[in-house]
Amino acid sequence: MNTLLNEHDSDITGEQHAFHEAYDTTLHHLETRQRITAQNIIDIEGELHHLTIYEGQDWGGRGVLKNAEIQGQIHAYLAFINQLKKEQGLQEEQ
d(CA 13, CA 42): 35
d(CA 42, CA 93): 21
pLDDT in tens, the chain (94 residues): 445 555 555 678 999 999 999 999 999 999 999 999 988 999 999 999 999 998 888 767 778 899 999 999 999 999 999 999 998 885 554 4
Rg (CA), the chain: 15
pLDDT of res. 7: 52
pLDDT of res. 93: 47
For the question of whether the overall pTM of this predicted structure is more than 0.95, the answer is no
- The residues spanned by each domain of the chain are 15-54+63-93
